[in-house]
Structure 1
Amino acid sequence: MNKTQPTLPFWQIWNVSFGFLGVQFGFALQNANVSRILSDLGADLHSLALFWLVAPIMGLIIQPIVGSASDRTWNRLGRRRPFILAGAIAAAIGMLLMPNAPLFVTLMAPMLFGAMMLALMDASFNVCFQPFRSLVSDMVPASQRNAGYSVQALLINIGAVIGSLLPFILTNVVGLDNTAALGEVAPSVVWAFYIGATVLLGTVIWTVIRTKEYAPEDYARYKGLNVDDATQAEKTPFWTLVKTMPDTMKQLAVVQFFSWFALYIMWVYTMPAITQHIWNIDKQWFDPAYIASVGSMPEFVVAAKGAAGDWVGILFAAYSVFAAVFSVFLARLADGFGRKTIYAGSLLLGGIGYISFLFFQDLEAVHVNLLITEVTVPQGAVNLVIPMIGVGIAWAAILAMPYAMLAGSLPAEKTGVYMGIFNFTVAIPQIVAGLTAGWILSSLFDNTAINIILVAGVSMICGAIAVLFVRENELNSQQAVDKEL
């Protein structure tokens, strides 16, 4: 009987991760537009970071639970697919409801309803994320691991490009309005979330239908386990797993802290940063108390916020395009130069990209042909596409390299729960950023948002340095069994 896990054709690897395209489509819509939605519903700059805490808190709670549960789930749908499908359905519901928060004003304040739907979306995204990571580890043999996570990174970024661009396209091609009065949500954003929910469900259903997970006895044979070890991962207490996590995971945790701290700041504060720095809008127009004191925002401020919000989608799409292109070459580069070298270099370029935001200010209005439409924006907005090259390269590496480096050090029968625990290294830095970034911005930088982007750059460079101290440990499946006995 063949004990060697079969290699997969390219399109089978593609199908394993295809649903992640839709999940990231929805996540990109959230990243590019939640600050905009919550700001329109009445949140100030300090509270934005606190609202965004919902995402990492949900990840911290959900992913280890889902990881442990999926490790010991074997039913007609498989091991990971039931969780992926359930998470996608719940996320789609949240995406349909969140932009309609003003309609529920009779039940609760729109901003509170928006925060609740953000929590639902993030919990659901996390139910999808963790099993997708583990599904690649389950299905793809060690010899194809770089390729498997690189394809996943490529699909993630394709979804991110489309999701980030969608509100801009709906405004400038379809003709939907991109502005909103305080307490409302722009129609372009509302319809973008409807489309995102549809794409998310469709792609996840494709993966569920087109991917056949291994039966317990096949999985155990390919990973060098016995069937009981493969199906009874609950024997080890959770906190024991945390205390005895592999050294590689602990070392990667330091890298993850600095890189995800930076990403959180980017997602929360790019919109106000470029509105102030590139569109030259005074920071007072991000203070709900000031706006209330003067009665309303001037038309030029409303228009600038709408245009800047759309341009954030362009910038986020740009870094996702660069990430997708880099992902095509990432596996070969990692095989040729080593994962650590490529990972550290990528984070360094990302940090330089963030810091360079400061130097691309140019208020001169220019006419830009984006092929699908033409817009007039400040030259500085166009210039910011350049830093997105570095940010995109860093993002591609963050999506693939830590998981490729980690997977070889994990015992196969506990891959799901360990991948869930590893999400602590994604969630905790975001929680720290959420609790501190608003204070840093208001107390140290007087709400000048471009300065907090510089903090993100320094943090990303620290992550690049930390990569150099990671030691990879390739634990084969039989060694994992021996370790557990």
Structure 2
Amino acid sequence: MDKTEATSKPALSFWEIWNMSFGFMGIQFGFALQNANVSRIFETLGASVDDIPILWIAAPVTGLVVQPIIGYLSDKTWNRLGRRRPYFLVGAILASVALVIMPNSPALWIAAGMLWIMDASINISMEPFRAFVGDMLPDYQRTKGFAMQSFFIGTGAVIASLLPYIMTNWIGLPNTAGAGEIPLSVQWSFYIGAIAFLGAVLWTVFRTGEYPPEMMERFEEKGNTEAAIRPDTNEVQNSGARKLYAGIIALIAGAGLTAIFMGEGYEKELLIFSCGLLALGVLLVFAGYLQKSGYEEHGLVEVMTDFIGMPKTMVQLSMVQFFSWFALFSLWIYTTSAVTAHIYGTTDTTSALYNEGADWVGVAFGVYNGFAAIVAFALPTLAQWTSRKVVHAFSLFIGGLSLVSIYFVSHPYVLLIPMLGVGLAWASILAMPYAILSSAIPAHKMGVYMGIFNFFVVLPQIIAASILGFLVQNYFGGEAIYALIIGGITLTIASIMMLFVEDDADKSVPLS
């Protein structure tokens, strides 16, 4: 059949899937350096343990705003570079610049600002990559596509997480510095990360094409999935009023909680949650007003309509994502503090022992990401033998047990054992939910729905940033290890919820 007249997407070869996913390795260089080292940078610049969550809030708030917008825009974009690739490139350039600046921050507020800019830029590149798999692959290859992304995420994260350790132990750069100064080993790790980020994304941009709009229209998969999420006429007429009512409720709840949290005895982090609820209320009210005024095709109206009208499978997966990413956020922002205090027995950020522990956290993160890269290719086969939801539920359960078990670790090398369990959960989190979701949403809204799905990656991070510092400081004596235990519990909850997710594709299509 002539390719220009094809009505179904052709299967892509292993190397074609490799090329289209390669850029994700660069994106993970940025994320891994951020996750393993930003808390260290913040503490070095004077932040206390209970201040770290509020400083990290820039990352999830940025993702909450940026990803749905980028998803919506990329659904409607087509230029000389294509549909998704322009966003890959712009995000990579901006993120690489931020990676260079971050370890040279002379003050805490500048480092926090750089985290904001860096995370926004990474999100500009990352969100279209999720939709890219849905654009380019037929349904039965999407599990393999997202597994390939997991492989590159793991591979990039291994190298990036190990960079400070390599800079110190192989290259000879110092891993200590004066008070308020970032060690050279960390600085050069970020420089290398910037080069890797841009280079990997450029590989995908120039080695992978995209189907033009007219071909995408022919490829559009119609039928049960699209019908299931398209509201009937009455629903369309009433959706504006529903947004107004929902927005008013969110405004009242947000205002009430804000008034409470502004009183004495409440931590400032709690205001993040209440003000976020206020912001959601404003957006819903504005979207409802626009829709009732006849602006049904306004971007905000479309995003909010799709948000309220999520298909059942997406709603179920969103709850799983919520508890999964709460756990991941606790891992990323508290592992350095937990390991250096609980295993190494120090909180002095200028000491050699603290920096040795912080470097070992990079090694531990490299282990879990490395194991995730290895196991990623096994996930499609395991899912074919059982089901995607069973594989994901099992992986989350093992990850939850692993996080809790860190409390019982007393030797740095033993820490690597639970990191294998975390790696299994991480690989599955990066692949299975997106593979299941891509089968439950229409192709022409792949970008915006992937962006909306990111709400449930971001919201738990905002809530974690709002309450974890409060809980650790007031109920656990400032011991960060208990934040990891809380994360293990929420990951276990996610594994149980996963068993109730509907995934009919597991029964009807091949997965590899």
TM-score relative to the length of structure 2: 0.82
- Checking the alignment, whether the CA contact within 8 Å between 1:72 and 1:233 is kept in structure 2 is no
- Checking the alignment, whether the CA contact within 8 Å between 1:248 and 1:473 is kept in structure 2 is no
State the 1:172 CA deviation.
0.4
Q: Secondary structure at the match of 2:441?
A: coil
Is 1:346 matched with 2:395?
A: yes
Is 1:13 matched with 2:17?
A: yes
Q: Secondary structure at the match of 1:384?
A: helix
Output the amino acid matched with 2:315: K
Q: 1 CA distance for matches of 2:324 and 2:402?
A: 13
State the 1:319 CA deviation.
0.2
What is the correspondence of 1:116-155 to structure 2 with a 5 Å cutoff?
116-155=113-152
Is 1:171 matched with 2:203?
A: no
Q: Secondary structure at the match of 1:96?
A: helix
Q: Secondary structure at the match of 1:237?
A: helix
Q: 1 CA distance for matches of 2:383 and 2:84?
A: 27
State the 1:237 CA deviation.
1.9
- From 84, 108, 112, the counterpart of 2:109: 112
What is the correspondence of 1:123-272 to structure 2 with a 5 Å cutoff?
123-224=120-221, 237-272=302-337
State the 1:181 CA deviation.
2.5
- From 440, 443, 447, the counterpart of 2:478: 447
State the 1:304 CA deviation.
1.1
- Checking the alignment, whether the CA contact within 8 Å between 1:71 and 1:233 is kept in structure 2 is no
- Checking the alignment, whether the CA contact within 8 Å between 1:42 and 1:183 is kept in structure 2 is yes
- Checking the alignment, whether the CA contact within 8 Å between 1:233 and 1:414 is kept in structure 2 is no
- Checking the alignment, whether the CA contact within 8 Å between 2:221 and 2:442 is kept in structure 1 is no
Output the amino acid matched with 1:262: A
**% identical equivalent positions:** 48
Is 1:427 matched with 2:458?
A: yes
Is 1:311 matched with 2:360?
A: yes
Match of 2:279 in 1: none
Instruction: Give CA deviations for 1:197-253 in whole Å, capped at 9, x if unaligned.
Output: 00000000000000100011111111247xxxxxx9959622111110111111111
Match of 1:325 in 2: 374
Is 1:31 matched with 2:35?
A: yes
Match of 1:336 in 2: 385
- From 254, 263, 274, the counterpart of 2:339: 274
What is the correspondence of 1:349-360 to structure 2 with a 5 Å cutoff?
349-360=398-409
Q: 1 CA distance for matches of 2:501 and 2:55?
A: 33
RMSD in angstroms over aligned alpha carbons? 1.5
Is 1:90 matched with 2:94?
A: yes
What is the correspondence of 1:400-419 to structure 2 with a 5 Å cutoff?
400-419=431-450
Is 1:101 matched with 2:150?
A: no
Is 1:386 matched with 2:420?
A: no
Output the amino acid matched with 2:461: Q
Match of 2:66 in 1: 62
State the 1:129 CA deviation.
1.1
Q: 1 CA distance for matches of 2:342 and 2:300?
A: 54
- Checking the alignment, whether the CA contact within 8 Å between 2:53 and 2:466 is kept in structure 1 is yes
Output the amino acid matched with 2:323: F
Q: 1 CA distance for matches of 2:47 and 2:476?
A: 19
State the 1:308 CA deviation.
0.7
Output the amino acid matched with 1:354: L
State the 1:473 CA deviation.
5.1
- Checking the alignment, whether the CA contact within 8 Å between 1:326 and 1:396 is kept in structure 2 is yes
State the 1:414 CA deviation.
0.5
Q: Secondary structure at the match of 2:377?
A: helix
Output the amino acid matched with 1:215: P
Question: Mean Cα displacement is larger for which, 451-460 or 70-79?
Answer: 451-460
Question: Mean Cα displacement is larger for which, 308-317 or 331-340?
Answer: 331-340
Q: 1 CA distance for matches of 2:457 and 2:171?
A: 37
Match of 1:371 in 2: none
Instruction: Give CA deviations for 1:264-322 in whole Å, capped at 9, x if unaligned.
Output: 011011111111111122x5x47xxxxxxxxxx6xxxx111110110000000000111
Output the amino acid matched with 2:42: L
**1:18–1:69 Cα change, 3 Å:** same
Q: 2 CA distance for matches of 1:331 and 1:473?
A: 16
What is the correspondence of 1:290-301 to structure 2 with a 5 Å cutoff?
none
Instruction: Give CA deviations for 1:359-406 in whole Å, capped at 9, x if unaligned.
Output: 121xxxxxxxxxxxxxxxxxx100011001110000000000100010
- Checking the alignment, whether the CA contact within 8 Å between 1:146 and 1:334 is kept in structure 2 is no
Q: 2 CA distance for matches of 1:343 and 1:41?
A: 39
Q: 2 CA distance for matches of 1:143 and 1:203?
A: 26
